[in-house]
Chains A and B, each alone.
Chain A
């Protein structure tokens, strides 16, 4: 085997566990990965839970409607059940993939189903740094045999890897989430959101009604920041139940005026928001394994102020590429924000270092690494991804029963 041999185009099947109806981090990651692979000439098909009406890119296959389920401290929309299993089986058979790439295979959704059904070169990416959940512990003996079918495990961060090592045993290689760094670096600032020395802007992005995203921590810091810098504007983007009324109730009329809700924003708007603001605030209180939005903010040139969670300090190079505050501590956040907003030199230094740090998260780098993993997995096998015979019996049984149900 020559080291210079040309990469042969691969047929890649990717399974996304969370619904495309309500896009989130994992879904975006899957989409961007698929597009990065397609751009390099590989054939990609993505199986994703989605309503039939939800507009999805043509390389995606909808696996049916997803139901909101509480899992890992957040409400996630997942698909499951025998009908879904049949769809997964059909998709696998039609795809004849060289490699199957599952995301979150221990989340009770499409990934777990696909792993049960498929056999062959399988890669799995673990996104969460989840605390060991009791249901998973119960189901683990059942899942473990399936997990042994995975040829290569990827963790998106050192934290996700550590979770894997501690809670499931075994190891994984760390390949970070990708960001189109240049897309953010070249985004045009929007005058509506651009700050001035008297009226600096601070942005927050994320689901508003999910406590671990940390909006309450930021809101509590607002009055303290305003006491020092009366002109500060807080731009809050994202969907959720929380709105201006709740904030008025919480902070009073005066402070609430400084908080502007932008609602859900498009990708382009996000890039230009991050390119406009002085500071991006990441006040998450836990459950984060990577912090992709921090990388996006860094790429766009915003100075990041974030909680000192393990994952965040690693992304921010231990505070060299962003400023850290004590997780969940609004007072410390307010102090840090004031310090950062009043010190343009600090901001410039931190942002300059951030631009160097983010290169390792660029899709150009990340795609190469993912392809190297695919190569390792495909190299050892001659046959594409097929059906696991031990999962077939169950399916035959189900078909039989359904057949009988229909004939009645």
Chain B
């Protein structure tokens, strides 16, 4: 084999390898961006749901005990939702409150706080008659409708986000991807776990009348 031939082969192999690296890197980049946007969308929807819950609590359409408890849970969700700043910013805002490895701990916390909000709201809407009475009042009907639509969007956004996380994790697991550190400094994305089970009496999202639609989405 002459040198010229060897050069040609080596060039081809190197070109193929570079091409593969380029494809893998752009795929990872796309997935990381996807996870970033889906997480932002999920955060926005969680805030939206908590806002509606807070409105529901302060509107006076619920009984006083439910109002207080829903309000408490909604406020807790809203304050974690907005304080979820990047670690360095958080350190500036309140250095005392941030434990070591703050971001991860906060994320765990947020899931359980949102789950608590879900549980409290479900409890407050436990009785079908209760919801029917809420719906009878125009202001209450609007709020219940908004709650249903924002709750449904939380479910959607969370599914889509966790799906994106799973795809990214799969792409990052490849041996060559790890060897070449193609993921760079992008942090390993984590799925968002919370209890967002549908309240039985809320009616299906989008259903106009609240009469027969008590079937939860399957």
Contact = CB atoms under 8 A, between A and B. Distances in A.
A171 interface: yes
A359 B51 contact: no
Interface residues on B, range: 35 or more
Contacts of A356: 212
Interface in B150-173: 150, 152-153, 155-157, 159-160, 162-164, 166-167, 170-171
A149 interface: yes
Interface residues of A, dominant DSSP: helix
B207 to A, nearest CB: 5
Interface string B38-49: 101100110110
Interface stretch (B29-37, B64-72, B80-88, B131-139): B29-37
Contact of A359 (B37, B152, B212): B212
A369 B51 CA distance: 21
B90 to A, nearest CB: 23
Contact of A372 (B23, B40, B152, B215): B152
Contact of B213 (A152, A360, A366): A360
Is chain B's binding surface mostly helix, strand, loop or mixed? helix
B206 A365 contact: yes
A153 interface: yes
Given A148-B167, A170-B163, A174-B217, A380 B207 contact: no
Interface residues of A, number: 36
A169 B41 CA distance: 23
Given A1-B44, A3-B150, A365-B204, A148 B162 contact: no
B178 interface: no
A380 B38 contact: yes
Given A1-B48, A153-B163, A170-B166, A372 B156 contact: yes
Given A359-B213, A365-B206, A376 B160 contact: yes
Nearest to B142: A4
Contacts of A174: 217-218
A402 interface: no
A307 B146 CA distance: 39
A359 B153 CA distance: 21
A152 B167 CA distance: 13
Nearest to A364: B208
B181 interface: no
B206 A364 contact: yes
Contacts of A331: none
Interface in B169-212: 170-171, 204-208, 212
A7 B37 CA distance: 20
A151 B206 contact: no
A3 B204 contact: no
A368 to B, nearest CB: 3
Contacts of A3: 48, 51-52, 146, 149-150
Contacts, number: 94
A22 interface: no
B156 A152 contact: yes
B160 A365 contact: no
B14 to A, nearest CB: 19
Contacts of B163: 153, 170-171
B71 to A, nearest CB: 17
A170 B162 CA distance: 9
B160 A148 contact: no
Nearest to B214: A356
Given A3-B150, A170-B166, A314 B206 contact: no
A379 interface: yes
A372 B218 contact: no
A173 B156 contact: yes
Contact of B153 (A170, A357, A375): A375
Nearest to A174: B218
A372 B205 contact: yes
B26 interface: yes
A145 interface: yes
A379 to B, nearest CB: 5
Nearest to B157: A376
A10 to B, nearest CB: 16
A372 B48 CA distance: 14
A127 to B, nearest CB: 17
A148 B31 contact: yes
A381 interface: yes
A147 to B, nearest CB: 9
14 contacts: A3-B48, A3-B149, A148-B27, A151-B34, A151-B164, A153-B160, A359-B207, A360-B204, A360-B207, A365-B204, A365-B206, A366-B206, A367-B206, A376-B45
Interface of A: 1, 3-4, 145, 148-149, 151-153, 158, 169-174, 314, 356-357, 359-360, 364-369, 372-373, 375-377, 379-381, 390
Given A314-B218, A372-B152, 13 more contacts: A151-B38, A172-B159, A173-B159, A359-B212, A360-B204, A360-B215, A368-B149, A369-B152, A372-B153, A372-B206, A375-B153, A377-B160, A379-B41
